[in-house]
Amino acid sequence: MLEIGEFGIVSVQTGTFRLDGGAMFGVVPKVLWASHEDVDDQNRILMATRTLLAVSRDRKHVILVDTGTGTKWEGKEAERFAITYDGDAIGRALSSQFGLTVDDVTDIVVTHLHFDHNGGLTDWSGEPGGDTRLCYPNARHWLHRDQWQHAHVPSLKDRASFLEQDFDILESQAEMSFVEGQSPDAPWPGVRFFVSNGHTPGQLLPIFSDDTRSLMFTGDAFPTSSHLRLAWVMAYDLEPLKTIAEKQRILRRCHDEGMALAFPHDHRLGGAEIDFAGTKPFVARTLAL
């Protein structure tokens, strides 16, 4: 566990999945990225789905950042992405680390609504393919309005990443708070929001900080530690040049302020302190998340 300000912070791996390595690294040749990744015979790389769990000392704020792919997968769909998901992983972490249950979750930061990040917001309420239910009915769900609007009218390029059953009941059944603008305030002490738009509009990335350290959950700005190099961006990004500019801003803070990064998809580590050799960032130390 990492302690920052009032929060104890844990990276919870909820599962794994695989996506095409070429798509994950865009124009970067396989001869470069393959030495960093576990690649299968279908050219898919292994990735984790991670939830950042942050709990305040007084237990008033029990925050999840993202919820993973969820359990609404079967047959060929699950096989296509080699999805594994442990629906009890978050509950076990809450219990073992903090003595809490999923009913105690007060807030969920929805970085964005792609299935691999927040399919776990809902589950089937009965038979697969039918109605859904909220997985965290007592939690307030925080989401950037630009992302909410985009998820309902996605582009031809990214519409396959948005599955309506993941979020169709949020507005009618969940406590929702829409964040707006490019410099929004966060509702908890010691937390700020960074808005990223290169991968998808209105990606909401929280930064936990105190007087001595800070930690950003990177979302798909840096899906894994292999994506630390500026030009290593995904073909999935809607605006890759904007992603590169956002990565520059984030890495500048890592360099100038010592900000650490928590990754959503790295199967090897949950987070790291970043150092620089010349202009190239690298993992200096793995965090005990």
Tens of pLDDT along 190-233? 999 999 999 999 999 999 999 999 999 999 999 999 999 999 99
Nearest partner of 262 among 34, 57, 81, 48, judged by Cα: 48
Q: Could you give the count of Cα atoms lying within 13 Å of 201 in the half-sphere of its Cβ?
A: 15
Tokens of 154: 């996605």
Closest CA to 216 of 243, 176, 247: 247
pLDDT at 279: 77
The DSSP code for 68 is: B
For 166-196, the pLDDT digits (tens) are 999 999 999 999 999 999 999 999 999 999 9
> Binning pLDDT at 50, 70 and 90, where does residue 278 land?
confident
Strands (E), 1-120: 2-4, 7-20, 44-56, 62-65, 84-85, 107-109
- Tokens 């999840």 belong to 64
Please, what is the Cα angle at 62 between 59 and 66, to 5 degrees?
165
Q: Tokens at residue 52, please?
A: 């950042």
DSSP-derived secondary structure for 180-201: -SSSPBPSSTTEEEEEE-SSST
Judge contact between 282 and 229, C-beta under 8 A: no
For residues 106 and 104, give the distance between their C-alpha atoms in angstroms, rounded to a whole number: 6
- Joined tokens for residue 33: 């990225």
What are the structural domains, with CATH classification, of the chain?
2-286 (3.60.15.10)
* Chain segment 50-62, per-residue pLDDT in tens: 999 999 999 999 9
Please name the residues in contact with 284: beta carbons below 8 A apart, sequence gap of 6 or more. 272, 273, 274, 275
How confident is the model at residue 206, as a pLDDT? 98
Res. 106: pLDDT tops 80 = yes
Region 72-77 average pLDDT: 90
Q: What is the mean pLDDT of the chain?
A: 96
64, 93 contact by CB (below 8 A): no
Compute the distance between CA of residue 88 and CA of residue 79 in angstroms, rounded to an integer: 21
Full 3-state SS string of 37-51:
CCECCCCEEEEEEEE
Q: Rounded to an integer, what distance in angstroms lies between the CA atom of residue 143 and that of residue 108?
A: 9
